[in-house]
Structure 1
Amino acid sequence: MKRFLSMLCALLASLGITACDYLNVRELKPGVSTAAEVRERFGPPQQEWHNDDGSVTWEYSRQPEGAECYMITIGTDSILREIDQRINEQTFARIERGMTGDDVRRMLGRPASSQFFQLKQHTVWEWLMERSTTVNEAAYFTVSFNNEGRVVETGRYSKPKR
């Protein structure tokens, strides 16, 4: 039964459905779990980031519908080192003026959307921070880039419930 649930969660995750992420994160153990176990639970990564020490960080963004982005680091020994959910205040605070789109993407993962504003000559990426509920509006974190592809500002906004 446990194996069936793992396979179902991996299939749902590959389709962008995050209901099983909580279970997957709890079951994986840094220093113990293997890269194969991570792939079995999360599916193939959307992006692979190669690190200076030879390790690789796999990106599992749940944008645009989910408010999560898991960056999972695998060591050169194919053992899980770290699972980090990046859609949070600590990561937002690290976004600085002058960073490139690749710098931001590596920190926050794939954005929920990207839009170019002609008058301002800025491209704005946004990430869902909090889903809309019966009580709360959906909240977004934004990063604006100039024509050179450098961060010029960050912001936040909420979408009213429909």
Structure 2
Amino acid sequence: MRRLLTVLCSVLAALGLPACDGFNARELRPGISTALEVRDRYGPPQMEWHNDDGSVTWEYSRQPQGAECYMITIGPDNVLRSLDQVLNEATFARVQPGMSNEDVRRLLGKPASSQFFQLKQETVWEWLIERGSTVVDPVYFTVSFNTEGRVVSTGRYTRMRG
């Protein structure tokens, strides 16, 4: 049965669907699961962030189609410390004016898109935070940066389907 679920998750992952992330997250246990088990379930990370304490945080962003980004921290002992889905209100509140774009990327993961607005001289990154459905339109969280790559504002919008 477990083999069947693994195969199904692999097929869905290949299609770009985050359907198995919840299953994978439930299977992993902080303080017990190893880095190898994390890689077996999630694959190679899109980004590795090295922390001052010798741990490493692996980024697994499901952008642009998924509304999730998992930051998984592995201790120097190669044991899972934490697994967090960071596209949430608590993390959005941590984005403050003056932060660098690298600090924001480390908090929220890779954005779904980035666009430069010539008139405002700002670059806006956006993350899909609610996929939407037949009744609800998709919702995005945005961060605007000045030409020095510093946060000037945050916001959110709903992309109306035409």
TM-score (norm 2): 0.95
Please identify, of 14-23 and 110-119, the stretch whose mean Cα deviation from structure 2 is larger.
14-23
Identify the residue that residue 30 of structure 1 maps to in structure 2.
30
Q: Any unmatched runs of 5+ in structure 1?
A: none
- Whichever residue aligns with residue 37 of structure 1, its letter is E
1:46-102: CA deviation from partner (whole Å, max 9, x where unpaired): 000000000000000000000000000001111111000000000000000011110
- CA RMSD in angstroms comes to 1.3
- Whichever residue aligns with residue 35 of structure 2, its letter is A
Please give the secondary structure, in 1, of the residue aligned with 2:91. helix
Identify the residue that residue 62 of structure 2 maps to in structure 1.
62
Identify the residue that residue 78 of structure 1 maps to in structure 2.
78
Please identify, of 130-139 and 116-125, the stretch whose mean Cα deviation from structure 2 is larger.
130-139
- Whichever residue aligns with residue 60 of structure 2, its letter is Y
d(CA) in 2 for partners of 1:87 and 1:33?
23
TM-score (norm 1): 0.95
Identify the residue that residue 151 of structure 2 maps to in structure 1.
151
Judge conservation of contact 1:7–1:40 (CA < 8 Å) in 2. Answer: no
Shift of 1:132: 1.5
Residue 22 (structure 2) pairs with residue 18 (structure 1): no
Residue correspondences, number: 162
Matched ranges for 1:105-144 at <5 A: 105-144=105-144
Shift of 1:45: 0.2
Matched ranges for 1:40-59 at <5 A: 40-59=40-59
